[in-house]
Amino acid sequence: MTCFRAAERETAVAVAASETHETAVAASQTDKVDVTVGEQLLKVGFVEMTYQFLSHMMDIKRGNLTDKLATKGVLSVDERQALKRQKKTDAKVNALLTMLKKKTADEFESFLAALSETGQDAVADVVRLATDTVAQTGHSPLHTVYGTFMLLL
């Protein structure tokens, strides 16, 4: 049984890597900006890394994060209610990250500020540092890659 699960995981990783590569190739062919497949893969990888980091490190229950996001105007009343309807914490986190991928750079920065205000400074700082390091400032790192929606869920 353990060997079967390991094989399943290897297959899932191979499929995900293949899909990521195909997505990057398609995006680089359809974009108006001249980028290489390697550059596109780097950006897709960064989006996925940011998503995974936040999904594992962010504590959505800590300090009423969703209430802070609503107060800051990052979440609408409907979005806040949709999060409250989610029963499981993982589902809430995934729903929030899905909402954040549609937000502007300013709204994403407000999200990072809310993380800091709820005692999650380290999480916000890592995302900011990573964003600065790969020169992805000026937009939400969950949002776009050269104008093509690239968050892979």
Q: What domain range is 51 assigned to?
A: 43-149
Across the chain, where does the E strand assignment appear? 144-145, 148-149
Structure tokens at 128: 């900011």
* Per-residue pLDDT at 39: 64
* CATH number of the domain to which 83 belongs: 1.10.533.10
Per the listing, tokens 């949002």 go with 143
Mean pLDDT of 37-44: 64
Region of poorest pLDDT, from 13-17, 48-52, 60-64: 13-17
> What is the C-alpha to C-alpha distance for residues 148 and 153, in angstroms, rounded to an integer?
15
* Residue 87 reports pLDDT greater than 70: yes
DSSP 74: S
The total domain count for the chain is 1
**Is residue 11 in a domain?**
no
Closest CA to 45 of 134, 137, 140, 139: 134
Find out whether 63 and 115 touch, Cβ atoms under 8 Å: no
Helix, strand, or coil (residue 135) = coil
Beta bridge partners of 145: 148
Residue 141, helix vs strand vs coil: coil
pLDDT of residue 130: 85
Q: What's the whole-number mean pLDDT along residues 62-84? A: 95
Does residue 130 form part of some domain? Answer: yes
74 within some domain: yes
Is 128 within the bounds of a domain?
yes
pLDDT digits (tens, 9 = 90+) for 102-130: 998 899 999 999 999 999 999 999 999 88
